[in-house]
């Protein structure tokens, strides 16, 4: 029992940032990250300076277990946390996964609302109380750092929930996390609830909040909880998470930093210059685009359209900017490399951008760079970063690989795609017609891979501005079995980017099938709430 207790680690004026991008965030529909991708995100979270990384739900699947174990084995800095239901086998598995980390936490939870107890758990309140005590006790056999959550706290009977929370503290929980699981709370009500819990539940614990965004109030509720004394906030990059998502970390952190008058003396240890990059990495690897007008990290968050605004900002930035774009890592994109740049310059540029890739990932990123540089005169740092992130897990053997694509057609002739890909190592060439070139090339991918299902979302953006910008395609595909995955592809050509994105999505389905997991199974522990 070498871990510090929470009260040693925190002080009254420090807000602990507990990131759950890799656990609650990964529960968003269509997101399915492999171990390499989760490690890449965890490394960035460590650079960002989060206090806790909730790395996953180890009992949920072998893949979840391996990812949490890999993160616990290699990420330095943040405490690594695993989620667990109250069953002892869940807690034992959770500990096994996080054990290699220097600092580790077990987060155990059980629902306390009447509707969850009756319809989901089919347990009486007395059973729920007993489960909570037993789970915290079991977790404390492994570590001093135990967090307990009464799921669906916003719809729980206050007195009963406080009995459970008191029992959890008495059994050794050092953090009480109060989740608004269904995003039902409003800010005033939430701050009153947090304040009332602090008054009612005695002992040495940190109070935490975990808010969902169903009414668009997750950040407001989290900040209201902080005002009422919460000193840990659970949040995700870009606010991803179940349904409408969780509280967005970048918004919470920047609200605390920008308005010390409203949150006097409160500190967060986040390197805010890493926020925009964290957002881009998470967006690219999850396939979830960031809305242009997203606060803090959206590409328009510091763009000024009206002439009067532009004029004001040119004279004095603070006329229309309450934050410095550089402080959140939203600087201007710079042109960095061209087609004559060599491997060393390429690697050096990536390192300067904070992407230390090597081995197979570096080789494939460099090959892609050369292909793109041949078509585009110069690549900017934003292009390079997008490329590096796309090659995360470059050493992973994928079921399907893009080789080449030729498309022809126009208003008078039928769009046709000639596609060559590698399917399980063998080269396959197919020709398909379609309603348009994107349709023809995606049909060709379907034909070459035998994929069955339908595209449920398709979105094209550009990495930077200008007609020569890299096209960035994000799509969602649902297989016939109902497995939903996202894919993302980059190219100077939008048709090729679409084919690459589709192949990326199909690789995820192949990986899920190979692991034997059924991500849609109703009894899969990953399905919370
Ligand atoms: O939303 C929720 O209740 C959760 C818990 C596991 C904290 O994610
Ligand atoms: Zn949640």
Looking at the domain assignment, is residue 4 inside a domain?
Answer: no
Locate 284 and state its tokens: 């690219």
Ligand 1 binding pocket includes 24 (Cβ within 6 Å): yes
Q: Which atom of ligand 1 is nearest to the CA of 83?
A: 6
User: What is the predicted pLDDT for the residue at 393?
Assistant: 57
Q: Tell me: do 277 and 311 sit in the same domain.
A: no
Looking at the domain assignment, is residue 525 inside a domain?
Answer: no
User: What is the predicted pLDDT for the residue at 1?
Assistant: 38
Sign, CA torsion 383/434/288/505: negative
* Count of domains for the chain: 3
Ligand 1 pocket test, candidate residues 83, 233, 241, 526, most atoms within 8 A of CB? 83
Residue that is last in its domain, among 286, 311, 345: 286
Looking at the domain assignment, is residue 184 inside a domain?
Answer: yes
Nearest to 247 by CA among 24, 13, 84, 52: 24
The strand pair at 471-479 and 453-462 is best described as antiparallel
Q: Residue 133: pLDDT above 50?
A: yes
Strand, coil or helix: 231: coil
Q: Tell me: do 263 and 409 sit in the same domain.
A: no
Q: Tell me: do 104 and 47 sit in the same domain.
A: yes
Q: Per-residue pLDDT tens for 106-129?
A: 999 999 999 999 999 999 999 999
User: What is the predicted pLDDT for the residue at 410?
Assistant: 83
User: What is the predicted pLDDT for the residue at 23?
Assistant: 98
CB neighbours (10 Å) of residue 260? 11
Ligand 1 binding pocket includes 525 (Cβ within 6 Å): no
Q: Residue 337: pLDDT above 60?
A: yes
* Ligand 2 midpoint to CA 217 (Å): 14
Looking at the domain assignment, is residue 132 inside a domain?
Answer: yes
Q: Tell me: do 127 and 263 sit in the same domain.
A: yes
| CB-neighbour burial class of residue 73 (10 A; exposed 0-12, middle 13-18, buried 19+) | middle
Q: Residue 6: pLDDT above 60?
A: no
Ligand 1 binding pocket includes 184 (Cβ within 6 Å): no
Q: Residue 523: pLDDT above 50?
A: no
Ligand with smallest separation from the Cα of 154: 1
* Ligand 2 midpoint to CA 529 (Å): 8
Q: Per-residue pLDDT tens for 30-87?
A: 888 989 999 999 999 999 999 999 999 999 999 999 999 999 999 999 999 999 999 9
CA dist., res. 55 & res. 73, Å (int): 12
Give me the half-sphere count of Cα atoms (radius 13 Å) on the Cβ side of residue 232.
Answer: 26
CA dist., res. 284 & res. 278, Å (int): 10
Tell me the percentage of the chain whose pLDDT exceeds 90.
68
Q: Residue 170: pLDDT above 70?
A: yes
Q: Which residue has the higher pLDDT, 363 or 246?
A: 246
* Ligand 1 midpoint to CA 214 (Å): 14
Least confident of 257-261, 330-334, 431-435: 330-334
Find out whether 245 and 239 touch, Cβ atoms under 8 Å: yes
User: What is the predicted pLDDT for the residue at 411?
Assistant: 83
Q: Residue 227: pLDDT above 80?
A: yes
Q: Tell me: do 46 and 121 sit in the same domain.
A: yes
Q: Tell me: do 332 and 426 sit in the same domain.
A: no
| CB-neighbour burial class of residue 514 (10 A; exposed 0-12, middle 13-18, buried 19+) | exposed
Looking at the domain assignment, is residue 447 inside a domain?
Answer: yes
* Ligand 1 midpoint to CA 434 (Å): 44
User: What is the predicted pLDDT for the residue at 318?
Assistant: 84
Ligand 1 binding pocket includes 179 (Cβ within 6 Å): yes
Q: Tell me: do 385 and 409 sit in the same domain.
A: no
Residue that is last in its domain, among 286, 317, 349: 286
Q: Quick one: pLDDT band at residue 4, thresholds 50, 70, 90?
A: very low
Residue 478 CA, chain-centre distance (Å), reads 20
**pLDDT (average), residues 314-330:** 88
Q: Tell me: do 348 and 409 sit in the same domain.
A: no
Residue that is last in its domain, among 252, 286, 320: 286
Tell me the percentage of the chain whose pLDDT exceeds 70.
95
CATH code, domain with 235: 3.20.20.70
User: What is the predicted pLDDT for the residue at 89?
Assistant: 98
Ligand 1 binding pocket includes 302 (Cβ within 6 Å): no
Ligand 1 binding pocket includes 528 (Cβ within 6 Å): yes
| CB-neighbour burial class of residue 525 (10 A; exposed 0-12, middle 13-18, buried 19+) | middle
User: What is the predicted pLDDT for the residue at 354?
Assistant: 81
Query: What element of type H or E holds 180?
Result: strand 175-180
CA dist., res. 79 & res. 98, Å (int): 10
Ligand 1 pocket test, candidate residues 81, 156, 529, most atoms within 8 A of CB? 529
Looking at the domain assignment, is residue 7 inside a domain?
Answer: no
Q: Tell me: do 43 and 168 sit in the same domain.
A: yes
The tokens 């936490």 sit on which residue? 105
Can you give the pTM of this predicted structure? 0.87
CATH code, domain with 508: 3.30.160.270
Q: Residue 371: pLDDT above 60?
A: yes
Q: Residue 19: pLDDT above 80?
A: yes
Looking at the domain assignment, is residue 213 inside a domain?
Answer: yes
Query: What element of type H or E holds 432?
Result: strand 426-433
Atom 5 (ligand 1) nearest CA: 151
Domain that holds residue 153: 16-286
* Ligand 2 midpoint to CA 169 (Å): 21
Least confident of 28-32, 75-79, 200-204, 311-315: 311-315
CB neighbours (10 Å) of residue 187? 18
Q: What is the DSSP string of 283-349?
A: HHHHT-PPPTT-TTTSTTTT---SHHHHHHHHH-GGGT-SS-GGGGT-----EEEETT--HHHHHHH
Q: Quick one: pLDDT band at residue 208, thresholds 50, 70, 90?
A: very high
CA dist., res. 230 & res. 223, Å (int): 9
Q: Tell me: do 383 and 460 sit in the same domain.
A: no
Ligand 1 pocket test, candidate residues 151, 245, 246, most atoms within 8 A of CB? 151
Q: Tell me: do 225 and 257 sit in the same domain.
A: yes
Q: What is the DSSP string of 440-503?
A: HHHHHHHHHHT--EEEEEEEEEESSSSTTSPEEEEEEEEETT--EEEEEEEESSHHHHHHHHHH
Q: Per-residue pLDDT tens for 185-199?
A: 999 999 999 999 999
Looking at the domain assignment, is residue 520 inside a domain?
Answer: no
In SS3 terms, 239-278 reads as HCCCCCCECEHHHHHHHHHHCCCCCCCCECCCCHHHHHHH
Atom 6 (ligand 1) nearest CA: 109
User: What is the predicted pLDDT for the residue at 349?
Assistant: 87
Phi-psi category of residue 489: left, alpha or beta, with phi > 0 → left and psi -120 to 50 → alpha? beta
Sign, CA torsion 355/358/360/365: positive
Q: Quick one: pLDDT band at residue 7, thresholds 50, 70, 90?
A: very low
CA dist., res. 238 & res. 26, Å (int): 12
In terms of average pLDDT, the best of 85-99, 315-329, 397-411 is 85-99
Q: Which atom of ligand 1 is nearest to the CA of 151?
A: 3
Q: Which residue has the higher pLDDT, 189 or 481?
A: 189
Atom 4 (ligand 1) nearest CA: 181
DSSP conformational letter for 2: -
Q: Which atom of ligand 1 is nearest to the CA of 212?
A: 1
Nearest to 170 by CA among 136, 122, 143, 206: 136
Q: Tell me: do 200 and 321 sit in the same domain.
A: no
């Amino acid at each position: 029992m070498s871990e510090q207790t929470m009260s040693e680690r925190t002080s009254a004026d420090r807000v602990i940032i507990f990131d759950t991008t890799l656990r609650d965030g990964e529960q968003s529909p269509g997101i399915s990250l492999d171990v390499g991708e989760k490690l890449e995100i965890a490394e960035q979270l460590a650079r960002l300076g989060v206090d806790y990384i909730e790395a996953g739900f180890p009992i949920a699947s072998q893949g979840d277990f391996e990812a949490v174990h890999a993160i616990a084995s290699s990420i330095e800095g943040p405490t690594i946390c695993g989620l667990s239901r109250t069953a002892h086998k869940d807690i034992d598995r959770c500990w096994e996964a996080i054990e290699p980390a220097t600092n580790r936490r077990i987060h155990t939870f059980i629902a306390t609302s009447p509707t969850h107890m009756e319809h989901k758990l089919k347990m009486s309140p007395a059973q729920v109380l007993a489960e909570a005590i037993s789970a915290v006790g079991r977790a404390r056999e492994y570590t001093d750092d135990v967090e307990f959550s009464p799921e669906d706290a916003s719809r729980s009977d206050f007195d009963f929930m406080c009995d459970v929370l008191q029992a959890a503290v008495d059994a050794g929980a050092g953090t009480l996390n109060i989740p608004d699981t269904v995003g039902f709370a409003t800010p005033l009500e939430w701050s009153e609830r947090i304040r009332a819990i602090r008054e009612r539940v005695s002992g040495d614990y940190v109070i935490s909040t975990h808010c969902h965004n169903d009414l668009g109030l997750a950040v407001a509720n989290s900040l209201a909880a902080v005002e009422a004394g919460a000193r840990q906030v659970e949040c995700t990059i870009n606010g991803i998470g179940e349904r409408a998502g969780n509280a967005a970390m970048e918004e919470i952190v920047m609200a605390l930093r920008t308005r010390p008058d409203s949150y006097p003396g409160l500190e967060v240890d986040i390197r805010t210059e890493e926020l925009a990059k964290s957002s881009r990495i998470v967006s690219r690897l999850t396939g979830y685009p960031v809305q242009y007008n997203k606060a803090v990290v959206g590409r328009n968050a510091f763009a000024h359209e009206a002439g009067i605004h532009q004029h004001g900002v040119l004279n004095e930035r603070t006329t229309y900017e309450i934050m410095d774009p550089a402080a959140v890592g939203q600087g201007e994109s710079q042109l960095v490399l061209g087609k004559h740049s060599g491997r060393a310059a390429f690697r050096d540029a990536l390192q300067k951008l904070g992407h230390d890739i090597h081995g197979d990932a570096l080789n494939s990123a460099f090959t892609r760079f050369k292909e793109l540089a041949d078509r585009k005169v110069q690549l900017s740092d934003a292009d390079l970063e997008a490329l590096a992130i796309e090659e995360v897990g470059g050493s992973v053997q994928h079921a399907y690989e893009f080789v080449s694509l030729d498309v022809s057609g126009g208003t008078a002739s039928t769009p046709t795609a000639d596609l060559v890909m590698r399917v399980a190592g063998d080269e396959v060439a197919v020709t398909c017609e379609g309603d348009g070139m994107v349709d023809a090339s995606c049909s060709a991918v379907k034909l070459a891979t035998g994929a069955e299902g339908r595209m449920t979302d398709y979105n094209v953006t550009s990495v930077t501005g200008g007609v020569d910008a890299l096209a960035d395609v994000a799509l969602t595909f649902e297989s016939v079995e109902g497995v939903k995955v996202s894919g993302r592809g980059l190219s100077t050509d939008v048709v090729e980017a679409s084919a690459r994105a589709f192949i990326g999505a199909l690789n995820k389905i192949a990986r899920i099938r190979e692991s034997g997991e059924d991500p849609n199974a109703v009894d899969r522990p990953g399905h919370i709430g």
